Each structure stands twice: as structure tokens, then as C-alpha cells.
């Protein structure tokens, strides 16, 4: 982790240096050159080490008080001289008073959001040595009238010049004519574009919402088009854009409402990220067998799509690939697929069943979240992990078999599966994530395997039909609200290894009549048993040194016996409020 240096703010510092020294170096022509060296005690700038000899300028709120800044080429830190080579992410973000900045020739990179919302900056000279300009670097520099991109720049992030509307409107091509950043300046002036020969890549969001663009010519040599390059270009002729000698499908360009039925031609091997995003009128699509990859968010919000056949050659389904395809009722995942990405089918509320092939080893976070019509699902034996919220909100899911190879169940993995009646957790699982089964109101029984060491917070909260549960000896902690509002739970045995009972762990378990607290427990959390109105007796061992506020509040039938003295136990406010009796066994 980079070490940060905080330089003091000089009360009188409106310029960058006061009594800086000079360093003499040999120039390219062999002549001596003087380079100004600034000590960190003489500047309000902050620096962060990049290497043993270089630093970058990092962000600091005090920069916003300055209208003119000069970045030194060299800085002295604890007696050693370092070269300033980069301007860090967000370094001068929202410096709205900044009108001019001098960047030394030693700088080679400008970070993400480096000058975002520097709304008073009118011009900037980027040194010849700069090779990369981060995404949104000059986003919102609304007064910027001119900028020159050095020949050595090989990378410009998307939205680097978004909102620089008074820049001279033009197509920005860089890196020796091989890369097209896209349009800069007034987007209304972007009406017809011819991307020059020699360009091989078009950046992401290159023509984002150039709504006046009516025609564009893309050379045959283009092999890469970034996602959302033509999003919002609704005046373009609506069509399917195929490029790179017919092997790649960018997706739909022009008015998305005209995208109703699509046949992707033979020869295409990949469908790009966001290819058909927001094509809400798309009802059918034919994908050729040669396709091997489907990009992230490829069919995001295709709400009229009812079915789709994924070719056999596809090996992965990208994140958000079919997100919120609300009409999708069936889909067959081919045997070659090994992973299902994050939110891949999230919000597919009409999907009733899905067969996950044997080759799949992981199910991503939110993969089937809110698939409210999904009644059953077969998880293959090869799956090792179930991601956070993977089946959260699958309110029609009645049964699911988790294979023996699974070792982790993510946070909220099955939360809100209100019709799930039973589930078998395999022996290899060592932890049950937070909110894992929260709100599974039909769950009557569950077996927690011996290898589990912790039960996460809210893990079984709201499982109102759960009558009993066996907590294995391996468990050492019960998380906050782990069994809160399990209104049918009548008894529970806490194993000897547990050292802490989390706050609200059994709060509102109104049917609980008995519970043991082992001698290993040292802490009972706030409201841990609050509202357990049928609990009649409990023995708190000498090992317990802390009882949280309201721990047994509203346990009106409870007789408490504590094997300790009041002076040895920290007791929170209202810990025993409304209890029938409290007895301390020791003075």
C-alpha cells in the first residue's frame, strides 16, 4: 500500500514554492539544465509514493482555495529528491476556482476524474511525455476552450472530455491515428462522421447521445468498438452493426424501438457488451452456432423477449446478460458454460425453471435474484460457491438441492424465498452468510452441518415456521438477529463452543420455552432474548461478563438465575425489564 505524505498548508501560500532549491542535470543536448526542487514543507500539495524515485500528486480539499497552481517537477521528501510523474485520481476534482495549472514535463499520466468539474479552467497544456489520460479526467470542465493531445498518448478513458461543450467540436483520433476517442465539443455539431482509415478501435461511449448524428462510416480495419459507443444516437439509421470482417456484433444502433426481430448473421463469433441494451421491443433473436461469447449486459432490459437459444459454443454468460428480461419464460443454458455471471438473469420474473449444466462451477452474485416465478432449480455437483443474493426474492421456489461440493453460501443467498419449505446444507459449508435465509417464512426445518463455525447476522430472521434447529458444536458465534422473529421456534440448544450471542439473536421468538447458555459464553448482546414471552427459566453461567441492554426485556414469565455477583457483570439498561425474577448466586 502506497505511503501518503501530508505536506503542511502554508498560510500565505498562493504560489507553490517559496524558497526552493535548484538541481542541475544534463539535458538531451548535453548541456546543464536547472530543475526547480520543492521541499514538501514549502507546498500545500500532497504526494504519494509511486516507486523509490517517483511520486504522484494526490487529492486534497485545500486545492479548491486556489485559482492558479504550479506542480513541481521534483520534490524533496526527508532529504531525498523524487520526480513527479503522475496526477492521481480525483487530484483536483471540483476545484471550481482553478483557472490555470502548470504541469511539468516529467508527468506521464493523468488519473481518473483528475480535473472533473474544474469549471473555471479555460485551457491546459498537456506535456509531451503524457501517455495516458484517465476516464472523466476533464469531465465537466465547461469553460475549457482548447486542449492539445500529445502524440505519445496511447490511452484515453471514456468520458474524459464529457461536458466540455465549448471545445472546438471535432472527431478526436489519437495514438498515431489508430484509436478513435469519439466526439468532443458541442454534440449538436456531430451530424456526419467518417472515421479515417487506419483506426482500429473506437472507444466506449465514443458518440454517447450524439442525437444529431445521422450517418457514420466505419473503416474495415476496426477490430474493437467499446460498449455504448453509439448509445442515444437515435437519428442513425436503425440497424444491426456487424464489424471486424463480419465476426463481431456490436449490437443495435439507432432508434431502439425499431429493434423488434433480429437475425445475427453467420460468421459472427461474439456479441458485445450492452449489444441490445434497452431494446424493450425486441421479441425474438436468432444467434448463429458460431457464437462463443455473450458480453455483459448484452440483453439488459429486453423486456419483450420471451425466449432465446444460446449456441452450444458459448462458455460463459456475462454479468447482467439478461437482466430484467421480464418476459423471458424459458432459456436453455448450453453444456459448455462454466460460469453464470453476476445478475445474469436477475429480474426475469416469468422464468419458471432453468437447467444449469454440469460444467458450471460458480453462480454469481444476484444471478437469479427476483426470479419470482422460478419454482425449482437443479444446481449441478460441480458448483463450489453460491454468490450473494443468488436466489434472493425467488418467492415461488419451493425446493432446492445444494450439492456436496459447495463450501460457501453468500449473503442473502435465499432471502425472501418465502415458499421454500426445507433445505439441506452440505457438509463442506463452513459459514452461513448474513441474511442467507431471512424471510423464508415457509421453512420448517434446516440442518446445519458440523463444519459451520459461524451463523451470520439475520441469517434465519423471519423464518416464522421454523420449529427447531440443531446448532453444531463447531459454531463459535451467533450473529446479530440470527433467529429474530422465528415465532415458532420452541427450543434451541447452544453448543459449548459459542462465546458470543449477538444482539437481537433470538428477539421476538415468542414460542421459545427453553434455552441453555453454555459456560463458554462471555457476552449476551443487546435485546438478545427480548420478547421471548414464553421463556420460563434460564441459567446464566459465571463465564458471562456482559449482558446487553434490554437483553431479556418483555420476558414476562422468565425466572433468571445468574451464577455470579452484580459487581462482576456489566449489565445494560433495561436488561431484565418486565422479567418475573432475577437472582444473583454470589455476593
Residue 62: other Cβ atoms inside 10 A: 12
d(CA 502, CA 479): 5
Nearest to 251 by CA among 282, 268, 275: 275
Nearest to 292 by CA among 310, 319, 309: 310
Which letter does DSSP use for residue 265 in this model? P
Quick check: 17 pLDDT over 70?
Answer: no
Whether the Cβ atoms of residue 454 and residue 477 lie closer than 8 Å to each other: yes
What is the secondary structure of 111-133 as a DSSP string?
A: -TTTTTT-TT--EEE--TT--EE
pLDDT tier, 24 (very low <50, low <70, confident <90, very high otherwise): very low
Higher pLDDT, 114 or 354: 114
d(CA 477, CA 497): 8
pLDDT digits (tens, 9 = 90+) for 247-256: 999 999 999 9
pLDDT tier, 129 (very low <50, low <70, confident <90, very high otherwise): very high
What is the secondary structure of 371-384 as a DSSP string?
A: -TT--EEE--TT--
Predicted pLDDT of residue 364: 93
Strands 385-386 vs 408-409: parallel, antiparallel or unpaired: parallel
pLDDT digits (tens, 9 = 90+) for 202-245: 999 999 999 999 999 999 999 999 999 999 999 999 999 999 99
Instruction: Find the distance separating the first CA and the last CA of the chain, reported in whole Å.
Output: 53
pTM higher than the cut 0.95 = no
pLDDT digits (tens, 9 = 90+) for 28-54: 445 545 567 889 888 999 999 999 999
Q: What mean pLDDT is reported for the chain?
A: 92
Nearest to 249 by CA among 211, 305, 292: 292
Quick check: 26 pLDDT over 50?
Answer: no
Quick check: 326 pLDDT over 90?
Answer: yes
Quick check: 15 pLDDT over 80?
Answer: no
Nearest to 412 by CA among 373, 374, 438, 441: 438
For 427-446, what is the mean pLDDT?
92
Quick check: 25 pLDDT over 80?
Answer: no
Residue for grid cell 418483555: 554
Whether the Cβ atoms of residue 209 and residue 187 lie closer than 8 Å to each other: yes
Quick check: 336 pLDDT over 50?
Answer: yes
For 496-505, what is the mean pLDDT?
96
Percent over 90 (pLDDT), the chain: 82
Percent over 70 (pLDDT), the chain: 94
CA-to-CA separations, 366 to 150, 350, 391, in angstroms, rounded = 43, 16, 7
Quick check: 55 pLDDT over 90?
Answer: yes
d(CA 237, CA 217): 12
One-letter-per-residue 3-state SS of 265-315: CCCCCEECCCCCCCCCCCCEEECCCCCCEECCCCCCCCCCCCEEECCCCCC
Sheet containing strand 491-493, edge to edge, reads 422-424, 445-447, 468-470, 491-493, 514-516
For 403-414, what is the mean pLDDT?
92
Strands (E), 373-484: 376-378, 385-386, 399-401, 408-409, 422-424, 431-432, 445-447, 454-455, 468-470, 477-478
Amino acid at each position: 500500500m502506497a505511503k501518503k505524505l501530508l505536506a503542511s498548508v502554508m498560510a500565505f501560500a498562493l504560489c507553490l514554492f517559496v524558497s526552493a532549491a535548484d538541481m542541475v542535470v544534463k539535458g538531451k543536448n548535453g548541456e546543464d539544465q536547472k530543475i526547480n526542487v520543492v521541499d514538501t514543507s514549502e507546498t500545500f500539495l500532497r504526494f504519494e509514493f509511486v516507486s523509490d524515485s517517483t511520486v504522484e500528486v494526490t487529492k486534497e480539499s485545500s486545492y479548491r482555495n486556489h485559482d492558479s497552481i504550479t506542480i513541481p517537477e521534483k520534490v524533496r521528501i526527508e532529504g531525498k529528491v523524487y520526480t513527479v510523474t503522475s496526477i492521481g485520481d480525483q487530484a483536483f476534482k471540483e476545484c471550481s476556482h482553478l483557472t490555470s495549472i502548470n504541469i511539468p514535463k516529467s508527468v506521464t499520466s493523468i488519473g481518473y476524474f483528475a480535473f472533473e468539474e474544474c469549471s473555471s479552467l479555460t485551457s491546459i497544456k498537456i506535456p509531451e511525455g503524457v501517455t495516458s489520460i484517465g476516464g472523466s479526467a476533464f469531465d465537466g470542465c465547461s469553460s475549457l476552450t482548447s486542449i492539445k493531445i500529445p502524440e505519445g498518448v496511447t490511452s484515453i478513458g471514456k468520458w474524459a472530455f464529457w461536458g466540455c461543450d465549448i471545445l472546438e467540436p471535432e472527431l478526436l483520433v489519437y495514438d498515431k491515428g489508430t484509436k478513435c476517442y469519439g466526439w468532443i465539443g458541442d454534440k449538436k455539431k456531430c451530424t456526419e462522421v467518417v472515421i479515417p482509415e487506419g483506426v482500429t478501435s473506437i472507444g466506449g461511449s465514443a458518440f454517447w447521445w450524439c442525437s444529431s448524428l445521422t450517418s457514420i462510416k466505419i473503416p474495415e480495419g476496426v477490430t474493437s468498438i467499446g460498449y455504448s459507443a453509439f448509445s442515444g444516437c437515435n437519428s442513425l439509421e436503425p440497424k444491426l452493426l456487424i464489424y471486424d470482417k463480419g465476426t463481431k456484433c456490436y449490437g443495435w444502433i439507432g432508434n431502439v424501438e425499431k429493434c423488434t426481430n433480429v437475425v445475427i448473421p453467420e460468421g459472427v463469433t461474439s456479441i458485445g457488451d450492452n449489444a441490445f441494451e434497452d431494446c424493450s421491443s425486441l421479441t425474438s433473436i436468432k444467434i448463429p452456432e458460431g457464437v462463443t461469447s455473450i458480453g455483459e449486459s448484452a440483453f439488459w432490459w429486453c423486456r419483450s423477449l420471451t425466449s432465446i437459444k444460446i449456441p452450444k459454443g458459448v462458455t460463459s454468460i456475462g454479468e447482467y446478460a439478461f437482466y430484467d428480461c421480464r418476459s423471458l419464460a424459458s432459456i436453455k443454458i448450453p453444456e459448455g458454460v462454466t460460469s453464470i455471471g453476476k445478475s445474469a438473469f436477475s429480474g426475469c420474473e416469468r422464468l419458471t425453471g432453468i437447467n444449469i449444466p454440469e460444467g458450471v462451477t460458480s453462480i454469481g452474485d444476484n444471478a437469479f435474484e427476483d426470479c419470482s416465478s422460478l419454482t425449482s432449480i437443479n444446481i449441478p455437483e460441480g458448483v463450489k460457491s453460491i454468490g450473494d443474493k443468488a436466489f434472493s426474492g425467488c418467492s415461488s421456489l419451493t425446493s432446492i438441492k445444494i450439492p456436496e461440493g459447495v463450501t460457501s453460501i453468500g449473503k442473502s443467498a435465499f432471502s425472501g424465498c418465502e415458499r421454500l419449505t426445507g433445505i439441506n446444507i452440505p457438509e463442506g459449508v463452513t459459514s452461513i452468510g448474513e441474511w442467507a435465509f431471512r424471510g423464508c417464512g415457509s421453512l420448517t426445518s434446516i440442518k446445519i452441518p458440523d463444519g459451520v463455525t459461524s451463523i451470520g447476522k439475520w441469517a434465519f430472521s423471519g423464518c416464522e415456521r421454523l420449529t427447531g434447529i440443531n446448532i453444531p458444536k463447531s459454531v463459535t458465534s451467533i450473529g446479530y438477529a440470527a433467529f429474530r422473529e422465528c415465532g415458532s421456534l420452541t427450543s434451541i440448544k447452544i453448543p459449548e463452543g459459542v462465546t458470543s450471542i449477538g444482539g437481537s439473536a433470538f428477539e421476538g421468538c415468542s414460542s421459545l420455552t427453553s434455552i441453555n447458555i453454555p459456560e463458554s459464553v462471555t457476552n449476551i448482546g443487546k435485546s438478545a432474548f427480548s420478547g421471548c414471552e414464553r421463556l420460563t427459566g434460564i441459567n446464566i453461567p459465571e463465564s458471562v461478563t456482559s449482558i446487553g441492554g434490554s437483553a431479556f426485556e418483555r420476558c414476562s414469565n422468565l425466572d433468571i438465575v445468574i451464577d455470579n455477583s452484580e459487581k462482576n457483570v456489566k449489565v445494560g439498561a433495561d436488561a431484565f425489564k418486565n422479567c418475573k425474577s432475577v437472582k444473583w448466586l454470589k455476593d
